């Protein structure tokens, strides 16, 4: 039971960044979802072997990277993914992003999402939580898929900018 | 320059477009090379790239956490919504989901194993929610309506229902399913929905491979497939052939050696034999209520008698019965208007008499007295007997109609009475509980007085036609004991339980099944007291009565 409690604590601290790392390697949120779950199961299975002197996050990312490699190999689609060299560099960079920063950014994102226009919120809702693909959403709203992609890109960029502004303002105050 | 400003500069311009293209899978090979080169060269760009990825994930988290939370709340709230409306004077004991009274089942969630296998992921989600995504989602969704749930882009199929399902290790769906996904169930039922709208009920043991949103391969096991009109063409492959839907519902059974049976419930299918990778297999059409066997060497139709076996397919996952006990409890703590009245006109709480009894008793029944202050009812015996239908116009057989608790002839029920300080009676003096449609179609049981003074035996007896039969007596009790009697029909079988609250012992009796009561929809249940051979009237005290029917809501 103590092991489980400790594992939960470690995972809780690392999971946001771990998911982000997996997502950065496989792009697709669904794939990232599956791989994250798969990685969590492996982490739990191997947790007894984990050396507590090491960083849990680094250990978890190492395992995740292997899982991602296997996944990409199975899909035979590595040509549209990054090289292993870049994956390792991304892992190093990821370790430098603090957990606090990730939490601050998440908090800032929440505030930024509230500020979105109604129709932009609706589009995010449809694309991230709804049942339809971009093509289906485009058909339904009588727009082209490209137009939907453009809107999503604009919204994401706006949110990204908004997060920067929010954090910059907080630093000033 | 502040840190955010510096990073903003690093991430402006074409790199942002490349990152967005990468994350949405719309990047070309040249763009990917350009992005990789930029990221390899600049740590700041890598940092911003990771932040952008993180944001994309966080948006997804916020939306999904909201959806998951809302679903969880709906699940939690569902039982309350299903509770039956309260009825005046009726006590709804509560809703119990299960196949038999008193058995709690998984109820709403018929996917325990899937849940078990996703334990860690759920734990992670719980942590995630605690870490803030939930709060973010709440702020994001505010009081807006729930977004539609269901499949997501890239998903070809998903598990929509399961019952008593035990998955092969590591072969449970860990989420929505994609092409190439494999499901293996050891036992139970799993229903898979495909993107095209087709639904498949898989019956374990079985193995299924998801090929696309419009096709699947059954490696072994049985399944039924229901295909809506707009999904015509849905294809099921097996090791010995393929079945193409032409607007239908069909069952398919694949044996371990690959031999495949097909039975069409509705509509038409086209079946082809041969290996599932044959390009031009021989095809035949199978019509409604026809069955055929697909072998490597060809297809043969089954005779109707052989096809009958195919009707054993499970076509639908039927949820476990939801059993709702409905009960009437009388505690004699006050007069109840509109019920049978005692010698002073106070309503006792009982509403009916067993048909064929008590016809000559006064409206103010001299044999009854409500002692509300003590929470008791006095019932005085009369010289009457169900056996031989002796002077039943004076017989005290009080109770209620079970139909008032939703009984329609098939439900199980129980009737119980608490009797303190049992009095002495003359030989064959008796009291207890009954259930029947009239005085000569009734089962009754309780205590019957022996020749030996102040001694009783337990009894349960049928009466079909006026004379007692199948009498079963057991045990020995003494006057002065406190008893709880329960006459029960469980699983259609009757029994009597006597709990002696003075000695702490209990006994149960059963006799030949009273088939004459089967299907009888208008049963009266209640209590009785009679002293057939004695003119001396005895008083039995009752301090609690309860009848319960386990109904199945429509």
Pick B329 or B304 by higher pLDDT. B329
- Return the CA Rg of chain A: 19
Residue spans of beta strands (DSSP E) within B50-172: 91-92, 96-97, 157-167
Largest CA distance in chain B: 112
pLDDT, mean of residues B195-217: 87
User: How far is Cα B372 from Cα B379, in angstroms, rounded to an integer?
Assistant: 14
Tell me the pLDDT of chain A (173 aa) as tens digits.
Answer: 577 788 888 887 787 778 888 888 877 777 777 788 888 888 888 888 888 888 888 888 888 888 887 777 666 544 556 777 787 788 888 877 776 787 788 888 888 888 888 888 888 888 887 667 788 888 888 888 888 888 898 999 899 989 989 888 877 66
Q: Are strands B215-226 and B235-238 parallel, antiparallel or unpaired?
A: parallel
Residue with tokens 């604590």: A9
pLDDT band at B392 (very low <50, low <70, confident <90, very high): very high
CA-nearest residue of chain B to A33?
A: B175
| B183: closest CA of chain A, how far (Å) | 15
User: How far is Cα B431 from Cα B380, in angstroms, rounded to an integer?
Assistant: 10
pLDDT band at B149 (very low <50, low <70, confident <90, very high): very low
B124–A40: do the CB atoms touch at under 8 Å? yes
Q: What separation, in Å, do the N-terminal and C-terminal C-alpha atoms of chain B show?
A: 70
Could you read off the pLDDT of B418-469 as tens digits, one per residue? 998 888 888 888 999 999 999 999 999 999 888 777 788 889 999 999 999 8
| B36: closest CA of chain A, how far (Å) | 7
Q: Which two tokens stand for residue B355?
A: 């048909």
Burial annotation A54-91 (CB, 10 A radius, 16+ → b, else e): eebbebbbebbbebbeebbeeeeeeeebbeeebbebbb
pLDDT band at B101 (very low <50, low <70, confident <90, very high): very low
| B258: closest CA of chain A, how far (Å) | 27
Q: What is the pLDDT of residue B524?
A: 96
CA-nearest residue of chain A to B68?
A: A129
For residue B312, pLDDT beyond 50: yes
Assess contact for B317 and B199: CB atoms under 8 A: no
CA-nearest of A158, A87, A71 to A121 is A158
> Between the CA of residue A38 and those of A13, A31, B170, B313, B337, what are the distances in Å?
18, 10, 10, 34, 66
Q: What is the pLDDT of residue B380?
A: 93
pLDDT band at B213 (very low <50, low <70, confident <90, very high): confident
- Residue B92: φ, ψ to 5°: -80, 110
Assess contact for A29 and B25: CB atoms under 8 A: no
User: How far is Cα B445 from Cα B331, in angstroms, rounded to an integer?
Assistant: 21
Q: Of the given ranges (B145-154, B200-209, B314-323), which has the lowest mean pLDDT?
A: B145-154
Assess contact for B350 and B341: CB atoms under 8 A: no
B50–A19: do the CB atoms touch at under 8 Å? no
Q: What is the pLDDT of residue B151?
A: 36
Q: What is the pLDDT of residue B9?
A: 42
User: How far is Cα B536 from Cα B232, in angstroms, rounded to an integer?
Assistant: 82
User: How far is Cα B175 from Cα A37, in angstroms, rounded to an integer?
Assistant: 10
Q: What is the pLDDT of residue B352?
A: 94
User: How far is Cα B524 from Cα B229, in angstroms, rounded to an integer?
Assistant: 52
B55–A156: do the CB atoms touch at under 8 Å? yes
What is the DSSP track for B138-188?
A: HHHHTTPPPPP-S--TT--EEEEEEEEEEEPTT-S--SSB-TT-EEEEEEE
- Return the CA Rg of chain B: 35
For residue B399, pLDDT beyond 50: yes
pLDDT band at B12 (very low <50, low <70, confident <90, very high): low
Helix axes B29-41, B43-82, angle to 10 degrees: 110
User: How far is Cα A57 from Cα B221, in angstroms, rounded to an integer?
Assistant: 43
ipTM confidence score: 0.77
B63–A41: do the CB atoms touch at under 8 Å? no
CB contacts under 8 A, B 451-470 vs A, are: none
Chain A positions in Cβ-Cβ contact with residue B142 (cut-off 8 Å):
114
pLDDT band at B410 (very low <50, low <70, confident <90, very high): confident
Domains for chain A: give ranges and CATH numbers: 2-96 (1.10.1740.10), 99-172 (1.10.10.10)
User: How far is Cα B488 from Cα A164, in angstroms, rounded to an integer?
Assistant: 72
Assess contact for B226 and B198: CB atoms under 8 A: yes
Q: What is the pLDDT of residue B308?
A: 58
Q: Of the given ranges (A129-133, B245-249, B385-389), which has the lowest mean pLDDT?
A: A129-133
Nearest-by-Cβ selection for B59 from A37, A128, A133: A128
Q: What is the pLDDT of residue B350?
A: 95
For the ranges A54-68, B81-95, B367-381, the one whose mean pLDDT is highest: B367-381
CA-nearest of B220, B244, B546 to B405 is B546
pLDDT, mean of residues B97-116: 28
Q: Which two tokens stand for residue B515?
A: 């088939």
Nearest-by-Cβ selection for B8 from A32, A153, A164: A164
For residue B316, pLDDT beyond 50: yes
Q: What is the pLDDT of residue B499?
A: 84
Assess contact for B457 and B450: CB atoms under 8 A: yes
Q: Which two tokens stand for residue B408?
A: 């329609």
Q: What is the pLDDT of residue B322?
A: 55
What is the DSSP track for A42-107?
A: HHHHHGGG--TTS-HHHHHHHHHHHHHHHHHHHHT-GGGS--HHHHHHHHHHHHHS-HHHHHHHHH
Number of H helices and E strands in chain A, helices first, is 8, 0
User: How far is Cα B353 from Cα B358, in angstroms, rounded to an integer?
Assistant: 7
B55–A30: do the CB atoms touch at under 8 Å? no
pLDDT band at B274 (very low <50, low <70, confident <90, very high): confident
Nearest-by-Cβ selection for B54 from A102, A114, A172: A102
User: How far is Cα B210 from Cα B174, in angstroms, rounded to an integer?
Assistant: 14
The CA angle B470-B472-B474, to the nearest 5 degrees, is 175
Q: Which two tokens stand for residue B301?
A: 């139709």
Q: Which helix (H) or strand (E) holds B51?
A: helix B43-82
User: How far is Cα B545 from Cα B338, in angstroms, rounded to an integer?
Assistant: 18
B39–A contact, CB cutoff 8 A? yes
* Three-class DSSP labels, B317-383: CCCCCEEEEEEEEECCCCCCCCCCECCCCCECCCCEECCCCCCCCCCECCCEEEECCCCEEEEECEC
Question: In 3-state terms, what secondary structure has residue B392?
Answer: helix
Domains for chain B: give ranges and CATH numbers: 150-310 (2.60.120.1440), 324-551 (2.60.120.200)
Give residues with Cβ within 8 angstroms of B554, minimum separation 6.
none
User: How far is Cα B386 from Cα A119, in angstroms, rounded to an integer?
Assistant: 78
CA-nearest residue of chain A to B52?
A: A160
A27–B39: do the CB atoms touch at under 8 Å? no
Q: What is the pLDDT of residue B406?
A: 86
| Average pLDDT of the residues of chain B | 76
User: How far is Cα B140 from Cα B459, in angstroms, rounded to an integer?
Assistant: 69
| B39: closest CA of chain A, how far (Å) | 8
Q: What is the pLDDT of residue B176?
A: 66
Assessment of whether the complete model's pTM goes beyond 0.90: no
CA-nearest of B525, B473, B481 to B500 is B481
pLDDT band at B224 (very low <50, low <70, confident <90, very high): very high
B55–A33: do the CB atoms touch at under 8 Å? no
B58–A109: do the CB atoms touch at under 8 Å? yes
Query: Is residue B451 classed exposed, middle or buried when 0-12, 13-18 and 19+ CB atoms within 10 A define those classes?
Result: exposed
Q: What is the pLDDT of residue B305?
A: 60
User: How far is Cα B195 from Cα B181, in angstroms, rounded to an integer?
Assistant: 14
Q: What separation, in Å, do the N-terminal and C-terminal C-alpha atoms of chain A show?
A: 44
B24–A152: do the CB atoms touch at under 8 Å? yes
B39–A90: do the CB atoms touch at under 8 Å? yes
B154–A28: do the CB atoms touch at under 8 Å? yes
Assess contact for B255 and B232: CB atoms under 8 A: no
Nearest-by-Cβ selection for A153 from B3, B20, B40: B20
User: How far is Cα B400 from Cα B554, in angstroms, rounded to an integer?
Assistant: 24
pLDDT, mean of residues B183-188: 86
B53–A contact, CB cutoff 8 A? yes
Assess contact for B207 and B182: CB atoms under 8 A: yes
B23–A contact, CB cutoff 8 A? yes
pLDDT, mean of residues B279-308: 77
For residue B160, pLDDT beyond 90: no
A27–B7: do the CB atoms touch at under 8 Å? no
Could you read off the pLDDT of B34-72 as tens digits, one per residue? 888 888 888 888 888 888 888 888 887 776 655 554 454
Q: Which two tokens stand for residue A127?
A: 């694309």
pLDDT, mean of residues B410-420: 91
Specify which residues B91 forms β-bridges with. Answer: B327
Query: How many CB pairs below 8 A link A and B?
Result: 190
For residue B369, pLDDT beyond 90: yes
Q: Which two tokens stand for residue B270?
A: 């086209």
* Portion of chain B with pLDDT greater than 70, in percent: 74
CB contacts under 8 A, A 146-165 vs B, are: 149, 152-153, 156-157, 159-161, 163-165
B4–A8: do the CB atoms touch at under 8 Å? no
Q: What is the pLDDT of residue B365?
A: 95
Q: Which two tokens stand for residue B162?
A: 């399961």
Pick B157 or B386 by higher pLDDT. B386
Chain B positions in Cβ-Cβ contact with residue A132 (cut-off 8 Å):
153
CA-nearest residue of chain A to B62?
A: A110
For residue B242, pLDDT beyond 50: yes
Nearest-by-Cβ selection for B131 from A16, A82, A161: A16
A76–B contact, CB cutoff 8 A? no
B40–A85: do the CB atoms touch at under 8 Å? yes
Q: Which two tokens stand for residue B235?
A: 């294809």
Chain B positions in Cβ-Cβ contact with residue A38 (cut-off 8 Å):
174
CB contacts under 8 A, B 496-515 vs A, are: none
A113–B20: do the CB atoms touch at under 8 Å? no
| B230: closest CA of chain A, how far (Å) | 16
B146–A contact, CB cutoff 8 A? no
Write the DSSP symbol of residue B535: S
Which of A128, A162, A169 has the highest number of chain B CBs within 10 A, making it the mutation to test binding with B? A128
CA-nearest of B247, B310, B223, B235 to B276 is B235
CA-nearest of B197, B117, B105 to B156 is B197
| B220: closest CA of chain A, how far (Å) | 25
Cβ neighbours around A49 below 10 Å, total: 7
Question: In 3-state terms, what secondary structure has residue B461?
Answer: strand
For residue B121, pLDDT beyond 80: no
| A40: closest CA of chain B, how far (Å) | 7
């Amino acid at each position: 039971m103590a092991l489980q409690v400790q594992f939960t604590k470690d995972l809780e601290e690392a999971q946001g960044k771990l998911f982000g790392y997996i997502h950065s390697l496989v792009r697709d949120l669904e794939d990232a979802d599956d791989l994250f779950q798969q990685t969590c199961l492996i982490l739990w299975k191997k947790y007894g072997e984990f050396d507590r002197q090491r960083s849990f996050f680094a250990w978890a990312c190492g395992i995740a990277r292997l899982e991602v490699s296997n996944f990409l190999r199975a899909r035979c689609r590595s040509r549209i993914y990054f090289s292993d060299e870049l994956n390792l560099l991304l892992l190093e960079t990821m370790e430098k992003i603090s957990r606090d920063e990730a939490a601050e950014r998440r908090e800032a994102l929440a505030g930024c999402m509230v500020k979105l226009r109604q129709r932009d919120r609706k589009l995010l809702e449809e694309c991230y939580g709804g049942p339809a693909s971009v093509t289906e959403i485009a058909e339904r709203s009588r727009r082209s898929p490209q137009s939907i992609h453009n809107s999503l890109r604009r919204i994401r960029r706006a949110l990204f900018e908004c997060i920067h502004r929010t954090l910059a303002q907080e630093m000033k105050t | 320059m502040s840190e955010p400003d510096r990073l903003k500069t690093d991430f402006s311009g074409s790199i942002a477009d490349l990152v967005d293209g990468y994350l949405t899978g719309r990047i070309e090979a040249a763009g990917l090379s350009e992005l990789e080169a930029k990221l390899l060269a600049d740590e700041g760009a890598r940092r911003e790239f990771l932040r952008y990825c993180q944001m994309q994930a966080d948006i997804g988290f916020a939306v999904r956490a909201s959806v998951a939370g809302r679903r969880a709340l709906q699940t939690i709230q569902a039982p309350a919504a299903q509770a039956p409306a309260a009825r005046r004077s009726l006590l709804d004991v509560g809703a119990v989901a299960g196949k038999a009274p008193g058995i709690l089942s998984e109820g709403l969630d018929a996917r325990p194993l899937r849940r078990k296998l996703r334990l860690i992921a759920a734990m992670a989600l719980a942590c995630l929610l605690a870490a803030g995504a939930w709060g973010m989602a709440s702020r994001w969704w505010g009081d807006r309506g729930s977004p539609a749930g269901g499949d997501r882009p890239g998903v070809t199929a998903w598990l929509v229902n399961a019952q008593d399902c035990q998955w092969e290790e590591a072969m449970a769906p860990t989420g929505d399913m994609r092409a190439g996904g494999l499901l293996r169930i050891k036992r139970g039922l799993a229903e898979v929905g495909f993107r095209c709208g087709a639904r498949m009920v898989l019956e374990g043991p079985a193995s299924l491979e998801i090929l696309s949103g419009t096709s699947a391969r059954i490696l072994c096991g049985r399944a039924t497939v229901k295909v809506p009109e707009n999904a015509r063409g849905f294809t099921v492959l097996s090791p010995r052939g393929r079945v193409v839907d032409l607007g239908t519902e069909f069952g398919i059974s694949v044996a371990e050696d690959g031999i495949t049976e097909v039975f069409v419930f509705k509509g038409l299918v086209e079946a082809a034999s041969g290996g599932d990778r044959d390009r031009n297999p021989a095809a035949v059409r199978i019509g409604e209520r026809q069955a055929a066997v697909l072998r490597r060497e060809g297809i043969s139709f089954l005779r109707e008698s052989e096809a009958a076996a195919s009707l054993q397919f499970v076509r639908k996952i039927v949820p476990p019965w939801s059993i709702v006990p409905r009960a009437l409890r009388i505690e004699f703590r006050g007069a109840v208007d509109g019920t049978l009245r005692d010698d002073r006109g106070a309503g006792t709480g009982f509403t009916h008499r067993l048909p064929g009894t008590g016809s000559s008793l006064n409206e103010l029944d001299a044999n009854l007295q409500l002692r509300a202050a003590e929470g008791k009812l006095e019932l005085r015996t009369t010289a009457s007997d169900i056996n031989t239908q002796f002077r039943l116009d004076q017989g005290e057989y009080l109770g209620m109609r079970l139909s008032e608790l939703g009984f329609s002839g098939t439900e199980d029920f129980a009737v119980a009475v608490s009797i303190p300080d049992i009095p002495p009676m003359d030989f064959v003096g008796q009291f207890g509980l009954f259930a029947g449609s009239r005085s000569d179609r009734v089962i009754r049981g309780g205590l019957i007085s022996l020749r030996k003074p102040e001694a009783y035996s337990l009894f349960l007896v049928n009466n079909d036609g006026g004379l007692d039969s199948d009498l079963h007596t057991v045990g020995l009790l003494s006057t002065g004991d406190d008893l709880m009697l329960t006459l029960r029909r469980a699983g259609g079988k009757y029994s009597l339980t006597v709990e002696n609250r003075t000695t702490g012992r209990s006994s149960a009796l059963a006799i030949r099944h009273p088939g004459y009561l089967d299907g009888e929809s208008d049963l009266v249940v209640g209590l009785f007291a009679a002293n057939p051979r004695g003119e001396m009237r005895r008083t039995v005290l009752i301090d609690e009565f309860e009848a319960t029917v386990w109904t199945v809501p429509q």
